[in-house]
Amino acid sequence: MNLGVNIDHVATIRNARGENDPSVTAAAHICELSGADGITVHLREDRRHIKEKDLYLLKDVLRIPLNLEMALNDDVLSHALKVKPRMVTLVPERREEVTTEGGLDIIKNKEKTKEYTRILTENNILVSLFIEANLELESVIEEIKAQFVEIHTGYYSHVYYDEYKKKKELERFERFTQMCKNSGVRVNAGHGLNYQNVMEITQIEGIEELNIGHSIISRAVFSGLEAAVIEMKGLISGG
């Protein structure tokens, strides 16, 4: 199972002072050297953390894959088509949210999601749908034709210490992952995962990559980014 490190909050710290430190590209380089299998960034409509310049610089300096999270936004799409990251993950987005609050509604947004998926795929960019692990989405996922889905694990992280609810969530993830694999769709997972709750997710056969950001950057405040990435990578590999 691979580890994708989301470095958005390195940019959040930088933007707090409107200067250049800490460097997003330096952070990505440390993650790369520390065993990360990919770097994830979310270019939001309001540019609250990652900026366009970060995206272009990262594509130039990274030797590991770049995963761009983005909403169904034409402006951000134009940058994605210029940068050509390995993957674009389509996510929901609201300006008033602190962080992404749930999966993309691919039923309500089916036609636009299909259009973006087609455009990105035609430009040799892999597409992932950040969605809830809902078995009823099978036909919609097949219709959209994205190569990946990413399971939203936010609720799981909130109920982790409730054994009954945690068990139900893990069972839901397992069934959904198997359904996707049977349909030829590859599976990643992320959101709210940390050093305490990640191990159970690593036991689910078929999930290829975990995208983790906030907990790694938070741990780095005390232990340093290199140590934080190595520790998380060790947990995932050990799983």
Contact between residue 105 and residue 77 where contact means Cβ atoms under 8 Å apart? no
Helix (H) or strand (E) holding 150: strand 148-152
Alpha-carbon distance of 45 to 58, in angstroms, equals: 19
Amino acid at 185: V
Is 79 annotated as a binding-site member? no
Alpha-carbon distance of 196 to 93, in angstroms, equals: 27
Is 214 annotated as a binding-site member? yes
Catalytic residue, from 32, 169, 191, 209: name it: 191
Catalytic (active site) residue 42: yes
Catalytic (active site) residue 79: no
Q: Which residues make Cβ contacts (< 8 Å) with residue 172, sequence separation at least 6? A: 133
Is 192 annotated as a binding-site member? yes
Catalytic (active site) residue 152: no
Is 158 annotated as a binding-site member? no
Is 102 annotated as a binding-site member? no
Is 219 annotated as a binding-site member? no
Helix (H) or strand (E) holding 165: helix 163-182
Is 54 annotated as a binding-site member? no
Catalytic residue, from 42, 93, 150, 152: name it: 42
Catalytic residue, from 32, 69, 93, 132: name it: 69
CA atoms within 13 A on the CB side of 66: 24
Is 49 annotated as a binding-site member? yes
Beta bridge partners of 189: 151, 210
Cα distances (Å, whole numbers) of residue 181 to 14, 81, 197, 201: 40, 28, 24, 16
Q: List the catalytic residues.
A: 42, 69, 191
Feature table: binding site for 3-amino-2-oxopropyl phosphate: 6, 17, 192, 213-214
Feature table: binding site: 6, 8-9, 17, 44, 49, 99, 192, 213-214
Feature table: binding site for 1-deoxy-D-xylulose 5-phosphate: 8-9, 44, 49, 99
